């Protein structure tokens, strides 16, 4: 029942001066329930020990394995090879992020910069006495914050966004969502004016051209469209 | 030169150590001008397509714009002023939207490969918007300039002559296509951009909005094409009398 | 050659490492955190079900306190834990969770009024108190008396890790990802940092520090089937081992009852905590037959074994991946699943095409016990310092300060990571403040040079073994012979075979000779490290001739408190040895607050009692009986323990005065 599939990957090692970017084909037998994690692990263990890619949790939780899979930004570990009817799968590293090698890109530095840039943490003057009862939070508000806190920094929203492709300094949906997350968190004392200081420019909220690839490719189905609109409405009023 | 500008351009902050509020205003104005133009275009289409009903009707509507109910025989001044206002909004909108254009070769290449690879609907719509916007820059300007310099030459015969005998029709075909795509996509974008009509299920509303967008483009294109054909027909019949102005043939005139 | 100096070097950017980094940076110490991957991708992010802390806000947690949490933890550990450490832990856990709440973890909150829940496979209604509205909620988990596991749906580790990382960034902690520690810098039995490989560029550099902490998580990837992330290879343990550090209880490996078949991706204990049940091929709920009291929610070691026992009786569901059982959460209803078990649903749909909210067997998910957690680790004092290497600290899953003994309770691990980050992090900061860097540049350079040569040596090696085959074999041996059910013969074979494999790693060839970014080279230096860790596990298991917690011997069915109430210490005597040396560290019953007894679940009557247990129990009973004044002084009499004053302070609960 199993068929042969062809995985084509872009190979390139920018830190090796002899390396030239090339597409390499790998043929292998498909197994039931095979994900791209399983397929690539197999390729790495048998045919090409030199192929680099990033997998950590292999369960769609950590956000490490974003790739361009037949054109679309996706989590490789959550992609089944059986989804591709013709058995041909082309893999490219995520654009926008610096390439480390082959399919491995440096999302870490990008996300770190983004986090620092939007001050991705609770800002408050309140001192918490941790031996006392915790602050009460309305359950729905907690749920709402959680909903936005589910972002796994996979970078698919950035890789799918043409604005980010053209403008290197654009914070991306991930950054805008992060700001929305803190703006509704009751622990955070920042005002809209404060958030304006972080994202009130053409590299921030006003740079977003509402292309909505972020919304369409976010593997966590975050409500990016409405949260970006929400922040835009807020920021325009500041 | 203002010191404030120097401070902001060098430090990215105002002298109060705040971010400038200008980007917010620009974003708002871009949308506002787009919205005004898009709404204007819907009414504009309804107006020019009155020719489909009858020459008289179109004539009387034209006269109404010339405020013939105030000035005897109508004046071209109000028409001139409204064209000027639209022209200014048009230029302003173009000026604001230009900020979003891909400018260098690298940007265009990245945008193009990315969009070709990904084949993502809304991204393609945006590219259509950029391309049509770019075309409108020229096509729209020509049209507006002609209108601006001939505010009196609007009417069943004057317009038809222009379309047919002055060979404006090729321009109009392009202009029509460009503007209807651009405007409808623009309205869709405005809704998702500002979260209008989101309702309880934004994903579903977005699907609906997109459908509405296609319908709007479609209807406007059909209507526009029919109108253009009507002008062509009249223009062709009227070619021998090029330059002659229309006069009212029925009693509608008395209404004003 | 590149050398960096810092006050505190923390290897590992999971919850434990980052929380420790916050502790040191609060003191103004220069802190560097290293991680194999961007820290927010550390394995802590995969923790799903929740974090234990005895807040007692929910009606089902009413009356909960440190004492009950303590007793659950000790029983869970099958009396293998260090009870003083368990006390330190339970006392600090409520503070840890409140700190996290203030840092923005959007804990699920109590909603006042009626709420529909599933308890013991029956739909029931509970009524939450008005006063509890808006406080942190909890769910049920295995091996606990009360509902104590606080959660954010089934992405608890994720939200915790993000909050802690964000706080660390806010405090300016230097976080360097894609950096791998490959050896420790040692001088006169003291650790002064690590040699680090840059995984983005491939070069080596030395990080010299006053104090070094290893918080590298677990080592589950030595097994073929594991719920652990691909990076959980135990290299942190290996570098400690190579530096001479003692590892504790390495054979104590937890197998989780409900990873999904065949991917091995975990379905959280929260599934059963919220009311899900296990079923066999006939759709029969079998756990109550084996464990009438805790049923599907006995501790993990017990449930896992019962499942395999049931499969051995022929009740497993046949599949091309072998026999498995079913996990049924469909009874919880679609709404509950889509809100509180959303990731579970997503995982199940993606990887198995099953929507667990679908009615009856359509929604059942195939599960089988697999490796999940490493109780063992770098043996430390209750302050987190290695028992035999100065300047080397460890906390989190990587450490064995020993609060889990031979089995850890679900929800106690993420809780441990932050609690240890607070407690050990502070002791670590004390140490870094008091210590100077007593090592000269030359020695550092020598160590760097040595590692450089080692890497070049691997590339130069021209043998006929393949590193990927060796790795595969190791993982199969561990799976087949050092698994849930263990016996002397298999374990003996395992040790011998692993030794052969370790020998073979010296005889490999790496095809690509590039010393920079070269995945094959990485395997070539990691697999020997993994083998050393595996050998500690296998040999420790071989020699421990009893069954305790997760360590279960078919040939020694009883827990042997007379001979084996001790901790296994494994260490590498000589660099070229092929196996670790073992020794044992006794546990003193006469100091225990809760002396060994029956856990309340699992097989009855399978204990070889130590006469001291009874004696100590009587002593304890007497102390309690004669005690008149407050709880604090009773603790001093029962079992005093040291803890920073700010953490020892009483935890306020709902209903306590001065609210
Ligand atoms: C699927 C799953 C679900 C779980 N669910 C729960 C739960 O619901 N409740 C609960 O309490 N526990 C749970 N656990 C257990 C818990 O998640 C872990 O025990 C805990 O998160 C470990 O945290 P840590 O900080 O010690 O290590 P980790 O989070 O594993 O972090 C290790 C860090 O060390 C780094 N590192 C490793 N080696 C090196 C090296 N050589 N050099 C440099 N850096 C290195 C890694 O990059 C990483 O940053 C679960 C575990 C699994 C596998
Ligand atoms: C010179 C002519 C024009 C140019 C160059 C131009 C260009 C653009 C561009 C590039 C955008 C996208 C901006 C973005 O994504 O942020 C845009 C948006 C828009 N345009 Fe135009 N346009 C022109 C004329 C018009 C006309 C005539 C209309 C009316 C039909 C119109 C209506 C809109 C609308 C409604 C939007 C959406 C506004 C927004 O996204 O904020 N434009 N235009
Ligand atoms: C106030 C300003 C405007 C006036 C008074 C005006 C007037 C007219 C008139 C009278 C016609 C009929 C043909 C003719 O007389 O040449 C026409 C056609 C047309 N105009 Fe305008 N116009 C204005 C602005 C615009 C703008 C801004 C656009 C788009 C950028 C535009 C797009 C078109 C198109 C596409 C047609 C062809 C109509 C069709 O095919 O049905 N017009 N306009
Ligand atoms: S917003 Fe979605 S797509 Fe973007 S990084 Fe977060 S999870 Fe990934
Ligand atoms: S794709 Fe990009 S442009 Fe905005 S809506 Fe999403 S961030
Ligand atoms: S490997 Fe973690 S999301 Fe794919």
**Tens-place pLDDT, residues B82-97:** 999 999 999 999 999 9
Compute, in angstroms, the gap from residue B186 CA to the centroid of ligand 2. 6
List Cα–Cα distances, B162 to B77, B167, B234, B237, C504, in angstroms: 21, 7, 11, 13, 90
Decide the pairing of beta strands C377-379 and C365-367. unpaired
Residue B180: closest CA among B223, B211, B121, B134: B223
Q: Which residues of A touch C159 (CB under 8 A)?
A: 146, 149
Testing ligand 2's pocket by substitution, the residue of B35, B97, B144 carrying the most ligand atoms inside 8 A of its CB is B97
The confidence band for A206, taking pLDDT boundaries of 50, 70 and 90, is very high
Note whether C242 and C572 are within 8 A (CB).
yes
Backbone angles phi, psi at C53, to 5 degrees: -160, 130
Q: Which ipTM value was assigned to this complex?
A: 0.94
Question: Stretch A41-48: mean pLDDT, rounded?
Answer: 94
For the cut 70, the answer to whether the pLDDT of residue C659 exceeds it is no
Give B5's pLDDT tier (boundaries 50, 70, 90): confident
% of residues, chain C, pLDDT over 70: 99
Bridge-based pairing of strands C2-11 and C204-214 is parallel
Ligand 6 geometric centre to CA of A65 (Å): 5
Q: Considering only A212-216, B7-11, C522-526, C572-576, which range has the smallest mean pLDDT?
A: B7-11
Whether residue C256 lies in the annotated active site: yes
As a whole number of angstroms, the distance between CA C364 and CA C328 comes to 5
**pLDDT computed for residue C657 by the predictor:** 67
Confidence of residue A17 (pLDDT cuts 50, 70, 90): confident
The number of beta carbons lying within 10 Å of the beta carbon of residue A94 is 23
CB-CB neighbours of B36 under 10 Å: 16
Residues 6+ positions from B125 with CB-CB distance below 8 Å: B185, B188, B189
For chain C, the C-alpha Rg in angstroms (whole number) is: 24
Query: Which residues 6+ apart lie within 8 Å of C260 measured at CB?
Result: C266, C267, C347, C348, C351, C352, C365, C366, C367
Residue of A158, A167, A206 best to disrupt the B interface, most CBs of B under 10 A: A206
Q: Does A212 touch chain B (CB under 8 A)?
A: yes
Phi, psi dihedral angles at A30 (to 5 degrees) = -80, 145
Q: Give the number of C-alpha atoms closer than 13 A to the C-alpha of residue C427, restricted to the C-beta side.
A: 24
Per CB distance under 8 Å, which residues of B are interface residues toward A? 18-21, 23-24, 26-28, 99-100, 102, 107, 110-111, 114-115, 117-120, 122-123, 126, 189, 192-195, 198, 202, 206
Predicted local confidence at residue C658, as pLDDT = 57
* C300 carries an active-site annotation: no
Partnered with residue C393 across adjacent β-strands are C213, C385
Verify whether the Cβ–Cβ distance A57 to C41 is below 8 Å: yes
- In the predicted model, what is the mean pLDDT of residues C70-86? 96
The average pLDDT across A142-162 equals 97
Q: Which helix (H) or strand (E) holds C309?
A: helix C300-310
C385 close to C245: Cβ distance less than 8 angstroms: no
B50, pLDDT greater than 50: yes
pTM: 0.95
Q: Is residue C654 within 8 Å of residue C56, measured between CB atoms?
A: yes
Across the range C489-499, mean pLDDT stands at: 97
- Which of the four pLDDT bands, split at 50, 70 and 90, describes residue B73? confident
pLDDT reported for residue C642: 96
Chain B positions in Cβ-Cβ contact with residue A95 (cut-off 8 Å): 110, 114
Q: Which residues, at least 6 apart from C443, have a Cβ–Cβ distance to it below 8 Å? A: C185, C187
Which of ligand 4's atoms lies nearest the C-alpha of A160?
3
CA of B143 to the centre of ligand 3 (A): 7
d(CA C158, CA C151): 11
**Chain A nearest CA to B120, separation (Å):** 7
**Nearest neighbour of A236 by CB, restricted to B27, B189, B198:** B27
Average pLDDT over residues A161-182: 96
Lowest pLDDT segment from C530-544, C588-602, C622-636: C622-636
Distances (CA, A) of B107 to A90, A168, B113, C457: 24, 10, 10, 46
| Contacts (Cβ under 8 Å, ≥6 apart) of C11 | C17, C34, C181, C194, C212, C213, C214, C215, C216, C236
pLDDT in tens, C594-630: 999 999 888 888 999 999 999 999 999 999 999 887 8
| Most confident residue range from C143-152, C351-360, C534-543 | C534-543
pLDDT at C508 over 60: yes
Task: For residues C259 and A59, give the distance between their C-alpha atoms in angstroms, rounded to a whole number.
Answer: 11
Q: What is the pLDDT of residue B1?
A: 65
pLDDT exceeds cutoff 80 at B256: no
Per-residue b or e along B47-82, where b marks 16 or more CB atoms closer than 10 Å to that residue's CB:
bbbbbeeebbebbbbbbebbebeeeeebebeebbee
Average pLDDT of the segment spanning C565-593: 96
Is A93's pLDDT higher than 60?
A: yes
Query: Are A210 and B114 within 8 A, CB to CB?
Result: no
Quickly list DSSP for C516-584: SS-HHHHHHHHHHHHHHHHHHHHHHHHH--S-BTTBEETTB-SEETTT--EEEEEE--STT-SS-EEEE
Strand partners, A131: none
- Please give the C-alpha separations between residue B134 and each of B95, B97, B141, B151, B183, in angstroms, as whole numbers: 11, 10, 11, 25, 13
CA distances from B94 to B88, B139, B213 (A): 10, 13, 21
Angle value at C-alpha C341, between C95 and A74, nearest 5 degrees: 105
Can you state the angle between helices C467-481 and A36-46, rounded to 10 degrees? 120
Q: At which residue do the structure tokens 């069954």 appear?
A: C547
Coil, strand, or helix at residue C422?
Answer: helix
Residue B241's SS3 state is: helix
User: What residue has token string 């065949």?
Assistant: C262
Q: Is the peptide bond before C262 cis (omega within 30 degrees of 0)?
A: yes
What tokens does B156 get?
A: 């069943």
- Whether the CB of C335 is below 8 Å from some CB of chain A: the reply is no
Q: How far is A67 from chain B (nearest CA, A)?
A: 12
CATH of domain B26-249: 1.20.1300.10
Measured in Å, residue C259 CA sits from the centre of ligand 6 at 16
- Give the contacts of C224 (CB within 8 A, at least 6 positions apart): C475, C476, C478, C479
**pLDDT value of residue C1:** 62
The pLDDT of residue C628 is: 82
Average pLDDT over residues A76-83: 95
Statement: residue C345 has pLDDT above 50? yes
Contacts of A162 in chain B (CB under 8 A): 111, 114-115, 123, 126
Determine phi and psi for C171, rounding to 5 degrees.
-85, 5
Q: Which of C272, C324, C542, C567 is catalytic?
A: C272
Round the CA-based radius of gyration of chain A to a whole number and report it: 20
Work out the mean pLDDT of chain C and round it to a whole number: 95
User: C-alpha angle C598/C599/C602, rounded to 5°?
Assistant: 100
Angstrom distance (rounded) from CA B58 to CA C190: 96
> Which residues have CB under 6 Å of ligand 4?
A 63, 151-157, 173-174, 177, 218-220, 222, 224
How many CB pairs lie under 8 A apart between chains A and C? 206
With bands split at pLDDT 50, 70 and 90, how would you rate the model's confidence at B254? very low
Cβ(B178) – ligand 2 distance below 6 Å: no
Closest residue by Cα to residue B68 from B167, B152, B181: B152
Crossing angle of helices B169-194 and B22-48, in 10° steps, is 130
- Of C545, C451, C590, C627, nearest to C1 by C-alpha is C451
Protein residue closest via CA to atom 4 of ligand 1: C47
Q: What is the 3-state secondary structure (H, E, C) of chain A?
A: CCCEEEEEEEECCCCCCCCCCEEEEEEEECCCCCEHHHHHHHHHHHCCCCCCCCCCCCCCCCCCCEEEECCEEEEHHHCEHHHCCCCEEEEECCCCCCEEECCEECHHHHHHHHHHHCCCCCCCCCCCCCCCCCCCCCHHHHHHHHHHHCCCCCCHHHHCCHHHHHCCCCCHHHHHHHHHHHHHCCCCCCCHHHHHHHHCCCCCHHHCCCCCHHHHHCCCCCCHHHHHHHHHHHHHHC
Show the tokens assigned to B8: 């902001």
Are the beta carbons of A130 and C109 separated by less than 8 Å?
Answer: no
pLDDT score recorded for residue B253: 45
Instruction: Please give the pLDDT value at position C321.
Output: 83
Burial A39-76 (b: 16+ CB within 10 A, else e): bbebbbbeebbbbbbbbbbbbbbbbbbbbbbbebbbbb
Ligand with minimal distance to A66 CA: 6
Give the integer Cα–Cα distance in Å for B140 and B174. Answer: 10
Atom of ligand 5 nearest to the CA of A160: 1
pLDDT of C490: 96
CA distances from A198 to A152, A183, B100 (A): 21, 12, 21
């Amino acid at each position: 029942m199993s068929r042969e599939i062809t995985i084509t990957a872009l190979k390139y090692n920018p830190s090796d001066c002899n390396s030239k970017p090339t597409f390499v084909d790998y043929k292998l037998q498909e197994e039931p329930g095979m994900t791209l994690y399983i397929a690539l692990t197999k390729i790495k263990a048998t045919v090409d020990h030199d192929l680099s890619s990033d997998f950590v949790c292999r369960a769609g939780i950590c956000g490490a394995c974003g790739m361009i899979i037949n054109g679309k930004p996706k989590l490789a570990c959550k992609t089944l090879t059986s989804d591709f009817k013709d058995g041909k799968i082309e893999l490219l590293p995520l654009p926008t992020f610096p390439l480390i090698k082959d399919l491995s890109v440096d999302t870490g530095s990008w996300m770190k910069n983004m986090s620092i840039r939007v001050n991705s943490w609770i800002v408050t003057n309140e001192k918490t006495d941790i031996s006392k009862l915790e602050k009460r939070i309305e359950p729905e508000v907690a749920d709402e914050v959680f909903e936005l806190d589910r972002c796994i920094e996979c970078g698919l929203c950035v890789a799918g966004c043409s604005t980010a492709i053209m403008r290197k300094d654009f914070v991306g949906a991930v950054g805008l969502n992060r700001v929305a997350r803190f703006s509704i968190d009751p622990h955070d004392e920042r005002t809209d004016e404060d958030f304006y200081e972080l994202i009130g420019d053409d590299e921030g909220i006003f740079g977003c051209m509402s292309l909505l690839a972020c919304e369409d490719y976010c593997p966590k189905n975050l409500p990016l469209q409405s949260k970006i609109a929400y922040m835009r409405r807020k920021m325009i009023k500041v | 030169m203002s010191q404030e500008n120097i401070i902001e351009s060098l430090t990215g902050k105002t002298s109060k150590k705040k971010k400038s509020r200008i980007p917010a205003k620009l974003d708002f104005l871009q949308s506002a001008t787009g919205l005004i133009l898009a709404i204007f275009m819907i009414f504009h289409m309804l107006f020019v397509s009155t020719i489909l009903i009858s020459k008289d009707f179109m004539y009387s509507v034209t006269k109404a714009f010339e405020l013939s109910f105030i000035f005897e025989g109508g004046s071209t001044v109000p028409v001139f002023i409204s064209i000027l206002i639209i022209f200014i909004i048009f230029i302003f909108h173009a000026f604001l939207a230009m900020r979003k254009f891909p400018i260098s070769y690298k940007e265009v290449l990245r945008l193009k490969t990315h969009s070709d690879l990904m084949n993502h609907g809304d991204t393609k719509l945006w590219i259509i918007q950029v391309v049509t916007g770019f075309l409108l820059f020229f096509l729209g300007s020509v049209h507006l300039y002609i209108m601006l310099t001939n505010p009196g030459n609007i009417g069943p015969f004057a317009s038809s002559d222009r379309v047919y005998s002055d060979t404006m029709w090729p321009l109009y075909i392009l202009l029509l296509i460009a503007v209807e795509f651009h405007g409808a996509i623009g309205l869709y974008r405005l809704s998702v951009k500002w979260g209008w009509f989101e309702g309880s299920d934004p994903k579903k509303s977005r699907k609906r909005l997109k459908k509405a967008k296609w319908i709007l483009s479609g209807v406007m294109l059909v209507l526009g094409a029919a109108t253009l054909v009507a002008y062509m027909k009249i223009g062709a019949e009227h070619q021998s009398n090029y330059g002659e102005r229309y006069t009212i043939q029925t009693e509608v005139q008395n209404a004003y | 050659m590149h050398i960096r100096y810092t006050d505190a070097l923390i290897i590992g950017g999971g919850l434990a490492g980052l929380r420790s980094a916050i502790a040191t940076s609060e003191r103004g110490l220069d802190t560097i955190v290293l991680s194999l991957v961007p820290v927010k991708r550390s394995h802590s992010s995969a923790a799903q079900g929740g974090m234990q802390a005895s807040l007692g806000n929910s009606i089902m947690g009413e009356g909960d306190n440190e004492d009950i949490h303590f007793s659950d933890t000790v029983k869970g550990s099958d009396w293998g834990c260090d009870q003083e450490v368990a006390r330190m832990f339970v006392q600090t856990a409520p503070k840890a969770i409140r700190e996290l709440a203030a840092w923005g973890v959007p804990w699920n909150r109590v909603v006042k009024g009626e709420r529909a829940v599933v308890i013991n496979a029956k739909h029931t209604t509970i009524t939450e108190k008005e006063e509890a509205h808006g406080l942190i909620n909890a769910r049920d988990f295995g091996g606990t008396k009360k509902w104590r596991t606080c959660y954010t749906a089934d992405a608890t580790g994720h939200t915790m890790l993000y909050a802690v990382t964000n706080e660390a960034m806010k405090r300016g902690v230097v976080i360097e990802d894609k950096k791998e520690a490959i050896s420790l810098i040692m001088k006169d039995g003291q650790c002064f940092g690590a040699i680090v490989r840059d995984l983005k560029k491939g070069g080596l550099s030395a990080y010299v520090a006053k104090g070094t902490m290893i918080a590298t998580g677990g080592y589950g990837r030595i097994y073929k089937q594991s719920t652990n992330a691909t990076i959980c290879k135990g290299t942190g343990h290996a570098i400690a081992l190579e530096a001479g550090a003692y590892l504790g209880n390495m054979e104590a490996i937890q197998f989780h009852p409900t990873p999904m078949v065949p991917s091995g991706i975990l379905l959280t204990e929260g599934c059963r905590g919220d009311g899900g049940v296990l079923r066999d091929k006939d759709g029969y709920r079998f756990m109550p037959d084996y464990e009438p009291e805790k049923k599907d929610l006995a501790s993990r070691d017990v449930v896992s074994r019962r499942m395999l026992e049931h499969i051995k009786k022929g009740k497993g569901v046949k599949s091309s991946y072998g026999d498995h059982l079913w996990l049924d959460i469909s009874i919880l209803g679609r709404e509950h699943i889509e809100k509180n078990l959303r990731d579970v649903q997503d995982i199940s749909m993606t990887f198995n095409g099953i929507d667990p909210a679908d009615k009856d067997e359509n929604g059942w998910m195939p599960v089988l016990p697999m490796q999940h957690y490493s109780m063992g680790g770098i043996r430390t004092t209750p302050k987190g310092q290695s028992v035999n290497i100065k300047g080397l600290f460890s906390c989190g899953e990587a450490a064995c300060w020993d609060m889990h003994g031979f089995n850890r309770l679900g929800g106690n691990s993420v809780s441990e990571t932050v609690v240890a980050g607070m407690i050990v992090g502070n002791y670590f900061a004390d140490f870094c403040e008091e210590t100077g860097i007593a090592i000269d540049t030359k020695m550092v350079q020598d160590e760097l040079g040595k590692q450089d040569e080692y890497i070049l040596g691997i590339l130069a090696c021209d043998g006929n073994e393949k590193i990927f085959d060796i790795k595969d074999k190791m993982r199969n041996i561990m799976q087949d012979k050092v698994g849930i059910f263990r016996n002397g013969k298999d374990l003996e074979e395992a040790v011998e075979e692993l030794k052969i494999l370790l020998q073979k790693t010296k005889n490999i060839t790496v095809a690509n000779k590039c010393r920079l970014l070269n995945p094959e080279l990485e395997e070539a230096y990691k697999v020997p490290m993994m083998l050393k860790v595996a050998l500690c596990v296998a040999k420790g298991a071989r020699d421990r001739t009893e069954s305790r917690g997760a360590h279960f011997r078919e040939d020694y069915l009883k827990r042997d408190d007379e001979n084996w109430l001790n901790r296994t210490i494994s260490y590498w005597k000589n660099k070229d040895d092929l196996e670790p040396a073992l020794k044992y560290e006794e546990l003193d019953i006469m100091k225990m607050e809760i002396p060994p007894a029956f856990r309340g679940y699992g097989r009855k009557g399978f204990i070889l009692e130590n006469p001291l247990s009874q004696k100590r129990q009587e002593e304890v009973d007497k102390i309690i009986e004669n005690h008149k004044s407050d709880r604090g002084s009773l603790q001093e009499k029962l079992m005093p323990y040291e803890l920073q004053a700010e953490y020892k302070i009483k935890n306020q609960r709902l209903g306590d005065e001065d609210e």
